[in-house]
């Protein structure tokens, strides 16, 4: 209502914005009163119509704003929920990755332990086999020495043949011992 009163007073007292311009002061007040009432009423109706249109536009803008606001709020909520789901999914994937890394590290440690154990078993087995071979060679040598002594005592070997046979037998034993020592050194 105050707008309407201001509009009426501005019609009565000068321009539409309520300010008087320098040209309006030159016109005598009495000539302003000579404006027909129906022109003032027409101007007043136009102003009221414009005000009504502005109110309708304002209402439509407010409705559009509310619709946009609700639409954006729904989109914002949907995006927030999607981000939350992705965050949960990411956390789950991260946990699975950490579990897999831990499992992989444990498997590597187990593999290293197993390799070390296999190496120890292999060394033990090699040492055992080398010891067994060495004992067998010593037993063979002992047996050969006993046979040689028995032959010497029985007198089966005479002079030169006896010395030659002993020399060949001794060299054979030395060769066997050298071969066995080389096998043992390469096995260890």
Tell if the pTM clears 0.75, that is, is over it: no
Give the pair of three-digit tokens for residue 39.
């022109």
Query: Which CA distances in Å does 65 have to 56, 72, 80?
Result: 14, 10, 22
* DSSP state letter for 34: T
Give pLDDT, residue 125: 87
Q: Is the pLDDT assigned to residue 75 strictly greater than 50?
A: yes
Do residues 15 and 24 make contact, with C-beta atoms less than 8 angstroms apart? yes
- Using CB atoms within 10 Å of the CB of residue 134, give its burial: 0 to 12 exposed, 13 to 18 middle, 19+ buried: middle
Sort residue 26 into left (φ over 0), alpha (ψ -120 to 50) or beta: alpha
Choose the most confident range, by mean pLDDT, from 19-28, 29-38, 132-141: 132-141
pLDDT tens column, 119-166 = 898 888 888 888 888 888 788 788 878 877 777 666 654 555 666 777
Do residues 10 and 43 make contact, with C-beta atoms less than 8 angstroms apart? no
Q: Is residue 106 part of a domain?
A: yes
Mean residue pLDDT of the chain comes to 77
Give pLDDT, residue 158: 56
Do residues 51 and 8 make contact, with C-beta atoms less than 8 angstroms apart? no
Q: Is residue 26 part of a domain?
A: no
Q: Is residue 58 part of a domain?
A: yes
Q: Is the pLDDT assigned to residue 102 strictly greater than 50?
A: yes
What is the domain extent for residue 54?
36-187
Q: Is residue 148 part of a domain?
A: yes
Q: Is residue 5 part of a domain?
A: no
CA separation for the pair 45, 43 (Å, rounded): 5
Q: How many domains does the chain have?
A: 1
Q: Is residue 4 part of a domain?
A: no
């Amino acid at each position: 209502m105050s707008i309407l009163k201001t509009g009426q007073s501005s019609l009565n007292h000068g321009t539409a914005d309520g300010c008087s311009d320098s040209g309006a002061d030159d016109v005598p007040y009495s000539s302003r009163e000579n404006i027909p009432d129906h022109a003032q009423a027409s101007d007043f109706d136009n102003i009221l119509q414009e005000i009504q249109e502005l109110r309708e536009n304002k209402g439509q803008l407010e409705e559009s704003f509310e619709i946009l606001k609700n639409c954006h709020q729904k989109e914002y909520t949907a995006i927030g929920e999607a981000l939350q789901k992705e965050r949960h999914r990411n956390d789950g994937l991260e946990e699975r990755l950490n579990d897999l890394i831990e499992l992989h590290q444990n498997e590597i440690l187990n593999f290293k332990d197993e390799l070390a154990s296999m190496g120890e078993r292999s060394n033990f087995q090699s040492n055992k086999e080398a010891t067994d071979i060495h004992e067998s060679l010593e037993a063979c040598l002992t047996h050969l020495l006993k046979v040689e002594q028995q032959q010497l005592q029985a007198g089966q070997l005479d002079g030169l043949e006896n010395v030659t046979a002993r020399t060949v037998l001794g060299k054979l034993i030395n060769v066997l011992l050298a071969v066995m020592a080389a096998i043992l050194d390469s096995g260890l």
